[in-house]
Amino acid sequence: MSEKEKMLLGELYNADNDEELINLRLEAKELCFKYNNLNPRDSENRKLTLEKIFKKSINQCLIEPNFYCDYGFNIEIGENFYSNHNLVILDANKVKFGDNVFIGPNCGFYTSGHPLDYQTRNKPLEYAKPITIGNNVWIGGNVCVMPGVTIGSNTVIGAGSVVTKDIPDNVIAVGNPCKVLKNI
């Protein structure tokens, strides 16, 4: 089984010594560099570059620069998506955003994680678990969403939160670790 196949299955894999994964990351990083340096008024090339990063067509999507990702092809964006500046998506596994998702500045979505035991971590091995964001979600600034998390539809995540566990539909959740504050 290839390192890419292990990565997509959520198994331990080696991203540092695999030529295929290294080349895929470099391709995505070159496209992110291009995107981040386009004229803000050049909406046509911004859209085309995002489509090259995601390897699929997109509609009603605006990501303010700077934007960074690992691979791009694991990111799925719904309709009417907006992210403010400094979005980071470590997409070693699937990151799926529903429709009408709004993200504040300086947010990160991290599918990648590392083993706790240093002998395994130092091999170097890592894993990746998918992240799913429902429809009509608002994520405040400086939020981190960790591997394997699902955020339900119609939910608000307060600024500065670290989301380590699933958050249900129709709630306001805040904190580190992020917890449900109240139902909407």
CA 116, chain centre distance (Å)? 22
| Band of pLDDT at residue 59, cut at 50, 70 and 90 | confident
Check whether 117 has a pLDDT greater than 90.
Answer: yes
Q: For 173, what's the count of Cα atoms within 13 Å in the CB-facing half-sphere?
A: 29
Distance (Å, rounded) from C-alpha 141 to C-alpha 90? 17
CATH number (domain holding residue 49): 2.160.10.10
| Band of pLDDT at residue 140, cut at 50, 70 and 90 | very high
Q: Indicate which residue of 4, 25, 85, 114 is catalytic.
A: 114
Q: Which domain holds residue 16?
A: 3-183
* Count of the separate structural domains present in the chain: 1
CB 179 within 8 A of CB 164: no
173-180, long-range: CB within 8 Å, 24+ apart, which pairs? none
Residue 114 appears among annotated catalytic residues: yes
Cβ neighbours for 86, distance < 8 A, ≥ 6 positions apart: 66, 67, 105, 106, 107
| Band of pLDDT at residue 12, cut at 50, 70 and 90 | very high
| Band of pLDDT at residue 89, cut at 50, 70 and 90 | very high
- Per residue in 96-108, pLDDT (tens digit) is 999 999 999 999 9
* Helix, strand or coil, per DSSP, at residue 89: strand
DSSP assignment, residue 32? H
